[in-house]
Chains A and B, each alone.
Chain A
Amino acid sequence: MLSRKKVEVLFSVGIVCFLVWAIWEARQWPAPSKLFPWSLGFTVLTLALVHLALGLRAALKESSVGNLAGNTSEDALGTGSTGRSDSESLLLSPEIARQRTIVICCWIVAFFIGISLLGFKLGSLFLTFGFLKFTAKERWTISAAIAVANYLFFWIVFDIALRTPLGSGLLGDYFGIN
């Protein structure tokens, strides 16, 4: 498990990589086009490297203290993934918290894929029902009612009131369903 400090170091490494890429990409552009990206890129890269160095030092310090005192898993990614100390998520065990984080992240991705494939109307129907019934463990009636309400919302607002249908998604277009 990664501590908050180590995640921050990884995040800083990501930012440094992004900035290096931005500077590298600009190398063959004509001078006026690369002037702004380079002057900006090098400045921010310097700041990001300073921050990375500070973060690395803190992470090394933490791991040396951790080796002495025994590593605690309280600060591991998953114990309140949004980092809120006042949230009830801190009452959850790290394992449960990590599982819940993974579950909701999977649903966030699933909604993206589902809407892309089925469009908003059908997507809202199936995804809402799936989330409420199988993940939130709500009753059939509540799950079905909210799913239908979401479907009707998109149909009434966009198809009828605004007359700007939101598209049927890739599968919807392929099979001609909406």
Chain B
Amino acid sequence: MLDAFCSGFLQVFAFSTFSLLLVGILIGFVVGILPGIGGVVTLALMLPFAFEMRPIDAFAFLLGMLSVTSTTGDITSIIFGIPGESISAALILDGHPMAKQGEAGRALGAALMSSLVGAIIGAFVLAASIPIVAPLVLTFKSPEFFALALLGITFVASLSGESKLKGMIAAGVGLVLSLVGLDPQSGMPRYTLGMATLWDGVGLVPVTVGLFAIPEIVDLWMKGTSIAEKRIGKLGGVWQGVRDTFTYWGVTVRCSLIGTFIGIIPGLGAGVSQWMAYAHAVQSASDKSRFGAGDVRGVLGPGAANNSGLGGSLVPTIAFGVPGTVVMALLLGAFLIKGLVPGPSMLTKHLDLTFAFVWFIVISNIITVMLCFLLLEPLAKITYVRGSLLIPGILLLVYLGAYAESKSTFDMGVTLLFGLIGLVMVYVEWPRPPLILGLVLGALIERNFFISYEIHALGFLLKPIVLLILLIGVGVLFYDKLRNYLAHD
């Protein structure tokens, strides 16, 4: 196995492989910054180019591209408050307030370094888990997925700020919104208002972009200044952000593991793990007062989690041919195009290729972070440009983010509607993250509940792993109270 591990490393540096890795990184860098054009669209566009390549070159190109999209997606979340990727949305909550306080450099430094740490942890978990992953993945079926999704909902308490009641209602509204579309049981349209466009449900990206970015645009115009309200140091503390990653190493590592674990479980992905990681960062902090107003731990958590997920999600794809996300389904297509059959042969005959995947993720993230650090100064300077000059570009990116995924004007309308709702929510101080969490988890909860109920009736709630996850959920709900109680004693 060690031979294969070393052989995988050496294969990365073959001229054609490394060149294509760099090309993939460059493409991923650009599309990661563009809102709405995420890993799925990029992979779909670039897959045909992989036809003529050798397997190792094709995966260097594709994985190099995929590895960096979430890292660069963090940049627009921090600077403009627009998620470059749907999996970077949680970065807005504390990253953008930091940028407004003149600490864009620190937030970017923290996001980049935590992304690198997350990616490395995710990649090495992939390497380490290859021999032992089978029992874990095969243990998780619908009841366990249902319990995991419920566990996600318990994090609403941490995402709700001062008002838990408002947070619960917002999460409930998000859950109801997740019901829009075709009923998974009967195929009947629900809440579609007679529009076929809504059969696929309400898009996560248009809702997220609207809820978070449009209130920021209004705020920027109201202030009449730049995004950053004050200047701190030459680069606003990039190295401080890098140091923060290691100062709060516990948050970084735990959130990386959350991202990796959720990535391994098919059907969840970084869209969920970023919020869980953020909620964990809030919950594990003794002083929560700065969260939502620019706490660097709110950047480190989701930054690490959204990048560590790629390594995790590759585990079931490689080991069983079970793609956990749409991106992994497309990558599975690349496997088949190249004549590779996921499963035992990837762990025996093609083990060196599997380990090369690990190295692609690690090396492409190192290169991306180095590239980003070179570009940090101009990136951070954008926050000092007069707001009125930026507003048209930001508005165009907002609508591009909504439009690009489905090429639908309707989704731009959804963004506009949720932008106005977001504006009112900010004004009346309602938390917005629980709504997104509800929207992300709603479909998972409903689908897995019904499958579990059909198979086990309510007996599925008594399965050991389900009970364990539900107990963790109860622990999450009462963690603060328990800690306060113990502190008083």
Contacts from A to B (Cβ < 8 Å) = 4, 7-8, 11, 15, 18-19, 22, 25-26, 29-30, 32-33, 36-37, 40-41, 43-44, 47-48, 50-51, 54, 77, 80-84, 86-89, 92, 97, 100-101, 103-105, 107-109, 111-112, 115-116, 120, 123-124, 127-128, 131-132, 136, 138, 142, 146-147, 150, 154, 157, 161-162, 164, 166-167
Q: For window 189-214 of chain B, which residues contact chain A by CB distance below 8 Å?
A: 190-191, 214
Task: Tell whether, in the assembled complex, residue B392 and residue A131 are in contact, meaning their CB atoms are under 8 Å apart.
Answer: yes
Contact of B396 among A37, A116, A124 (CB under 8 A): A124
Q: For window 388-411 of chain B, which residues contact chain A by CB distance below 8 Å?
A: 388-389, 391-393, 395-396, 399-400, 403-404, 407, 409
28 contacts between A and B (CB under 8 A): A11-B425, A11-B428, A25-B191, A29-B183, A37-B176, A43-B172, A47-B165, A47-B169, A47-B172, A51-B165, A81-B222, A83-B429, A88-B225, A107-B391, A109-B416, A111-B392, A111-B395, A116-B412, A120-B396, A131-B392, A136-B389, A146-B392, A146-B393, A157-B30, A157-B34, A166-B400, A166-B403, A166-B407
Nearest B residue (CB) for A21: B191
Known: A26-B190, A51-B169, A131-B392. A89 touches B219 (CB 8 A): yes
Size of interface on B: residues with Cβ below 8 Å to A: 61
Contacts from B to A (Cβ < 8 Å) = 30-31, 34, 45, 165-166, 168-169, 172-173, 175-176, 179, 183, 185-186, 188, 190-191, 214-219, 221-225, 229, 388-389, 391-393, 395-396, 399-400, 403-404, 407, 409, 412-413, 415-416, 419-420, 423-430, 446, 449-450
CA distance A59 to B219 in the complex (A): 26
List 8 A-B pairs, minimum CB-CB distance, nearest first: A44-B172, A136-B388, A89-B222, A128-B392, A8-B428, A104-B221, A82-B219, A83-B427
CA distance A43 to B165 in the complex (A): 12
Task: Tell whether, in the assembled complex, residue A132 and residue B175 are in contact, meaning their CB atoms are under 8 Å apart.
Answer: no
Nearest A residue (CB) for B172: A44
Known: A51-B165, A89-B222. A82 touches B173 (CB 8 A): no
Name the distance in Å between B76's Cβ and chain A's nearest Cβ.
Answer: 14
Q: List, in ascending order, chain A residues with CB within 8 A of B34's CB.
A: 157
Nearest B residue (CB) for A48: B169
Q: List, in ascending order, chain B residues with CB within 8 A of A43's CB.
A: 172
Name the distance in Å between A132's Cβ and chain B's nearest Cβ.
Answer: 6
Contact of B173 among A18, A29, A164 (CB under 8 A): A18
Nearest A residue (CB) for B430: A11
Known: A87-B222, A97-B222, A101-B218. A115 touches B427 (CB 8 A): no
Name the distance in Å between A99's Cβ and chain B's nearest Cβ.
Answer: 11
Q: List, in ascending order, chain B residues with CB within 8 A of A154's CB.
A: 396
Q: List, in ascending order, chain A residues with CB within 8 A of B430's CB.
A: 8, 11
Q: List, in ascending order, chain A residues with CB within 8 A of B185's CB.
A: 32-33
Name the distance in Å between B131's Cβ and chain A's nearest Cβ.
Answer: 39
Nearest B residue (CB) for A109: B416
Q: List, in ascending order, chain A residues with CB within 8 A of B403's CB.
A: 115, 120, 166
CA distance A33 to B429 in the complex (A): 34
A-B contact count (CB 8 A): 185
Task: Tell whether, in the assembled complex, residue B428 and residue A7 are in contact, meaning their CB atoms are under 8 Å apart.
Answer: yes
CA distance A4 to B430 in the complex (A): 12
Q: List, in ascending order, chain A residues with CB within 8 A of B166's CB.
A: 51
Q: List, in ascending order, chain A residues with CB within 8 A of B419's CB.
A: 108
Task: Tell whether, in the assembled complex, residue B173 and residue A77 are in contact, meaning their CB atoms are under 8 Å apart.
Answer: no
Task: Tell whether, in the assembled complex, residue B399 and residue A112 are in contact, meaning their CB atoms are under 8 Å apart.
Answer: yes
Known: A4-B427, A120-B396, A132-B388. A33 touches B224 (CB 8 A): no
Contact of B219 among A84, A136, A150 (CB under 8 A): A84
Task: Tell whether, in the assembled complex, residue B395 and residue A107 are in contact, meaning their CB atoms are under 8 Å apart.
Answer: yes
Nearest A residue (CB) for B192: A25
Known: A36-B449, A104-B217, A136-B389. A11 touches B169 (CB 8 A): no
Name the distance in Å between B52's Cβ and chain A's nearest Cβ.
Answer: 17
Q: List, in ascending order, chain B residues with CB within 8 A of A82's CB.
A: 215-216, 218-219, 222, 423, 426-427
Q: List, in ascending order, chain A residues with CB within 8 A of B429's CB.
A: 8, 83
Task: Tell whether, in the assembled complex, residue A150 and residue B393 are in contact, meaning their CB atoms are under 8 Å apart.
Answer: yes
